[in-house]
Structure 1
Amino acid sequence: MHTEINYETCLRYVRGETTLEEARTVRAWLADPANELLAQYWMSQQALESEPVRPADGNDPYDYASMRENIYARMQLDSIPTASAARPVMWRRWAAAAAVVGAVAGTSWLVHERGQVAEPTVASYATPYGQTRVVQLPDGSEVTLNAHSTVRYAATPNSERPREVWLDGEAYFSVKHMPNHQPFVVHTTAGLNVEVLGTKFTVYRRHEQARVVLLSGKVQVAFADTTKAKVILKPGELLETSDQNPSKVVHQAVQAAPYAAWADGKLVFEATTIADIATRLQDTYGVEVVVASPALKQRKFTGTFPSNNLDLLCENLAATFNLQIVRRQNQVILSNHPSSHHNP
Structure 2
Amino acid sequence: MADAASPRARTAAGQRAPLAGGQPISAEVADQAAQWLTVLMSGTASQAQLQRWQQWRDAHPDHARAWAHIEAVTGRLKTLTPQAAYRSLSPYAGSNGQASPGRRKALNLLLWGGVAGATGVLASRTERWQRATADYATATGQRREVQLQDGSRITLNTRSAIDVRFDAQQRLLQLLAGEIMVTTAHALGAGHDARPLLVRTAQGDIHALGTRFCVRQDEHDTRLSVLESAVEVRPRAAAQAVGRVQAGEQCRFTAEALGAIAPVDAQAAAWVRGQLIADEWRLDAFIAELDRYRAGLLRCDPQVGGLRVSGVFPLDDTDRILAMLPSVLPVRVSRRSRYWVTVQAAGQG
Q: TM-score range by the shorter chain?
A: 0.5 to 0.7
| Contact map agreement 2:284 2:306 (CA 8 A) in 1 | yes
Cα distance in 1, alignment partners of residues 211 and 217 from structure 2: 19
* Residue number in structure 2 paired with 1:152: 163
The alpha carbon displacement at 1:180 in A equals 4.3
Q: After the TM superposition, which residues 255-266 of structure 1 pair with which residues of structure 2 at under 5 Å, given as runs?
A: 255-266=264-275
Structure 1: which amino acid aligns with 2:273? D
1:268 has 2:287 as partner: no
Tell me, in whole angstroms, the C-alpha distance in 1 between the residues paired with 2:146 and 2:285: 28
The counterpart of 1:314, out of the listed 319, 322, 326, is 322
Please state how far the C-alpha of 1:280 moved relative to its aligned partner. Answer: 1.2
Q: In the TM superposition, what is the alpha-carbon distance from 1:233 to its structure 2 partner?
A: 0.3
The alpha-carbon deviation at position 279 of structure 1 amounts to: 1.7
For 1:164 and 1:247, the matched residues in 2 are separated by: 21
* Residue of structure 2 aligned with 1:208, choices 211, 220, 224: 220
Q: How far apart are 1:133 and its partner, in Å?
A: 0.5
Cα pair distance change 1:180/1:201, threshold 3 Å: closer
Q: Which amino acid aligns with 1:329?
A: R
Q: State the secondary structure of the residue aligned to 1:225.
A: coil
Aligned to 2:195: 182
Counterpart secondary structure, 1:207: coil
CA distance in 1, matches of 2:242, 2:173: 19
SS of the residue 2:320 aligns to? helix
Q: Which amino acid aligns with 1:303?
A: G
- The correspondence for 2:205, drawn from 173, 193, 200, is 193
Q: Aligned residue for 2:294? A: 285
Q: Which amino acid aligns with 2:137?
A: A
1:332/1:288 Cα in 2 relative to 1: closer, same or farther (>3 Å)? same
For the residue of structure 1 that corresponds to 2:223, the secondary structure is strand
Q: Distance in 2 between matches of 1:185 and 1:164?
A: 5
Distance 2:225 2:295 in 1: 24
CA distance in 1, matches of 2:194, 2:160: 28
Amino acid at match of 1:181: A
Q: Partner of 1:19 in structure 2?
A: none
Query: What RMSD, in angstroms, separates the aligned Cα atoms of the two structures?
Result: 2.2
CA apart distance, 1:228: 5.6
Report the secondary structure of 2:267's partner residue.
helix
Aligned to 2:142: 131
Q: CA deviation at 1:276?
A: 1.4
Counterpart among 123, 141, 146 of residue 152 in structure 2? 141
Q: CA deviation at 1:316?
A: 2.2
Is residue 221 of structure 1 aligned with residue 215 of structure 2?
no
Corresponding pairs, count? 211
Q: 1:305 aligns with which of 298, 313, 326?
A: 313
Q: 1:229 is paired with a residue of what secondary structure?
A: coil
- Name the residue aligned to 1:41: none
Q: SS of the residue aligned with 2:260?
A: strand
% identical equivalent positions = 25
What 5-or-longer segments of structure 1 have no aligned partner? Answer: 1-121
Local SS of the residue matching 2:259: strand
- Tell me, what secondary structure is at the counterpart of 2:250? strand
Distance 2:282 2:295 in 1: 19
Residues 239-254 of structure 1 mapped to structure 2, 5 A cutoff? 239-241=251-253, 247=256, 249-254=258-263
Give, as a single letter, the amino acid of the residue that structure 1 aligns with 2:316: N
1:4 matched residue in structure 2: none
Deviations 1:246-292 (A, max 9, x none): 65642222234421110111111112111211221221223322222
> How many Å separate the matches in 2 of 1:278 and 1:287?
13
**Distance (Å, rounded) in 1 between the aligned partners of 2:196 and 2:134:** 19
Radius of gyration: which is bigger? 1
Distance 2:257 2:204 in 1: 13
Match of 1:232 among 240, 244, 250: 244
Once residues 161 and 185 of structure 1 are traced to their aligned partners in structure 2, the CA distance between those partners, rounded to angstroms, is 11
* 1:147–1:285 CA contact under 8 A, matched in 2: no
Q: Answer whether contact 1:223 1:230 (CA < 8 A) is retained.
A: yes
1:129 counterpart letter in structure 2: T
Q: SS of 1:285's equivalent?
A: coil
2:253 and 2:288 mapped to 1: Cα distance?
Answer: 17
Query: What pairs up with 1:14-25 in 2 under 5 angstroms?
Result: none
User: Displacement, 1:227?
Assistant: 5.7
Using the alignment, how far apart are the partners of 1:284 and 1:123 within structure 2? 19
Q: 2:179·2:215 contact (CA, 8 Å) conserved in 1?
A: yes
Distance 1:247 1:162 in 2: 24
User: Contact 1:292/1:333 (CA < 8 Å) preserved in 2?
Assistant: yes
Segments of structure 2 that go 5 or more residues without pairing to the other structure are 1-132
Q: Moved runs in structure 1, 4+ residues, more than 3 A? A: 246-249
Give the match's secondary structure for 1:250: coil
Residue number in structure 1 paired with 2:333? 325
The alpha-carbon distance between structure 1 residues 320 and 223, as it changes in their structure 2 partners (threshold 3 A), is same
